[in-house]
Amino acid sequence: MGRLRSDRWLPGSPFSLKEDARGTEMRELPKSLPVHAWFQLPDRLIRRSDAHAYRLTRDAVWVEAGRGETKLAAWVWRSSGKHRRQGDVTST
């Protein structure tokens, strides 16, 4: 569950796919790919428009969004991440 710190919300840890769900044949992307991605947290589902994909398998992608204490990182289903143009970041 998220928590408040200095009057701002800090997310809990997102759920990440286990290895048997995501697959074992992982490919490192030559450079990060900007994506819109859904993260499932213990108490909510959030869509981040500032996410980047770094690795992928046939069914899953490793995505990271944010930085510092608010950073989210997880293996998610490939269908939960959608490509976006590099400068295209909209708040959702």
Q: What is the pLDDT of residue 43?
A: 85
Distances 1 to 27, 29, 34, 40, 91 between C-alpha atoms, Å: 31, 31, 27, 11, 22
Q: In which residue are the tokens 């295209």 written?
A: 88
Helices (H), ranges, the chain = 19-22
Q: What is the pLDDT of residue 92?
A: 43
Distance CA 27, CA 14 (A): 22
Q: What is the CA radius of gyration of the chain?
A: 13
C-alpha 38: how far from its chain's center?
6
Mean pLDDT per block of 10 residues along the chain (92 residues) reads 58 88 92 92 89 93 89 89 60 43
Render 64-77 in DSSP notation, one character per residue. EES-GGG-EEEEEE
